[in-house]
Every structure is written in C-alpha cells, then in structure tokens.
Structure 1
C-alpha cells in the first residue's frame, strides 16, 4: 500500500454544525473603467450582476475545482461589491450546516467574482496592457463555527 499518496480527509465521524465564512478581495481598475461600470455602459452588460452570479456559481462548484475539497450542502451565498474610485471590493459570505467548513468556497466565490469583473471590462483595461489592473488581497475575514 502506498502511504505517501494524496487523499481526502475522512470527515465521517464529524458531526454537522453551522458554519459560515466571509472572504473578500479587490480588483484595481482605471478610474475610467470604474465610471463605465457605475454608469452601466460596459459592452458586455451589467458587470456587477454578472460577477455576482459567477461568484455564486463558483461557490457551488468549488469541490469540482479544488481536488481535496468535499462537496458540501451550501445553505446560503451572498456576493456583494463596494465601488471605490480606482478599485472594487468583492465580499462573499457562505453558509452551511455540515461536517467541514466553507472557507474554500468563500475564497473561490470572491476569486471568480473578481475574475469575472476583469473579463467583463478587459477591453477597456488592455489598452495600456493592463498596466493598472490587478486582483489582490483575497483573504478570509471571518469564520464562524457553532457547535
């Protein structure tokens, strides 16, 4: 038997408990691009609504993207945005009652929401070879576990 292989953590004996995680991250964009988003003038449509749906979908598919993540019953997802002069903050809150946490799901939701924003506005940002564009500071900001 090969002992050094990879395997999913066995959570069979753990009990279901309420778990919640909030993750956030940022995308830096040109001020002109931010204005296009605010004014609803992006060629591809409503940037933040599409990014919101993408983030929610990503949460539900996290176990398909990250090899050792368990498929878990997601009971709630909320993706929100805060617009600043030269950046947008995405926040993803994920809830479950299960044997394992939802940190990876929240981080995936934020990441995909931010990537979707980039995709929706890349035609404006690529004009200067993405000189200012970047996704950064993706992190867990709160984790709750109630036994």
Structure 2
C-alpha cells in the first residue's frame, strides 16, 4: 500500500512539503457532465434562457473556483495558475453538457484539484442558473482526464 502523503509521523493531517520538488510545467484536464431536459438544453444552447448567458457565467465561476481551490480544500497548496480554461460541449443525443477544464502552471505541485474544482463549480453554477426550470438536472462523471508534469510525467484516463 502506498504511504499517505498528507499524514505526518503521528498520523495527523498536514500539508505536504513541496519545497524540494523541481519546478516544472504542470497541466491537468478534468470534466463534469450535467444532464437536463431537452427543453432546458435548447434554451441555454440558443442563448434564450431567462437568466442570460448561462455558459458565460458558468465559465467565469469555474475560473474563479480554480483560483480559490486552496481556500476550499484544506491541504491544497495555494497556486499561481498561469492558465484556466473552461469549455462546454453540447450533447444533443444525451441531453447533456460536457464541461471540461484545463489548469496550468509552472510550479512544484500538480493542478488536478484545481481542474476538478473548476469543472465542478462550472457545473454547479449551470445547475443554479437553470434549477427553477429544471430541478431534476443531474451532475455526474466528475473526473481527471489527464495530467502532465512532475516526477510522474504524463497520465491520461
């Protein structure tokens, strides 16, 4: 079994010391899926939703969330992100939206948590903006798609 890195010798939670790690370019991509009624999907796809630009607001929320990740997840390091991107892919057949995030930096620790937080909060914001007309929406399939950089190199799901 792999040793847990967020525990000290006494078994107490602590932040991992990354001061001796190499600074490398690190990227991570993550996703979330939100399923909804075809009517709601049509409204947001065509920019006709009563609350306005659902994708635009959700994109900004995801970007802000990535920047605040260390405030939300107790043992995450505060990171100087150099890039955060959020993309939306409309999936007509499944009446859903695939949200993908990309986080990037030049640093000593990975950005998977930031990418996951960005995708998750973008999905939550989309849900919040559309919940009055479609309270049965489902957020699912939140996962890391890919990471690069650091001693483990490239990983892809």
Provide the TM-score with structure 1 as the length reference: 0.92
Residue of 98, 101, 109 corresponding to 1:100: 109
Name which of 64, 72, 88 aligns with 2:71: 64
| Structure 2: unaligned runs, 5 residues or longer | 1-8, 152-157
The total of aligned residue pairs comes to 141
Q: C-alpha offsets along residues 78-136 of structure 1, whole Å, 9 cap, x if unaligned?
A: 1000011200000000001100000000000000000010001111113xxx1xx2111
1:113 counterpart = 2:103: no
SS of residue in 1 equivalent to 2:40: helix
Corresponding residue for residue 29 of structure 1: 36
Q: Which stretches in structure 1 are left out of the alignment for 5+ residues?
A: none
Q: 1 or 2 for the larger relative contact order (CA 8 Å, sep ≥6)?
A: 1
Quote the RMSD (CA, aligned, Å). 1.3
CA 1:146 to 1:11, structure 2 compared with 1: closer, same or farther past 3 Å? closer
Asked if 1:143 corresponds to 2:147, the answer is yes
Give the structure 1 partner of residue 6 of structure 2: none
- SS of alignment partner, residue 40 of structure 1: coil
Determine which of 126, 131, 136 is the counterpart of 1:122.
131
Give the structure with the higher percent helix: 1
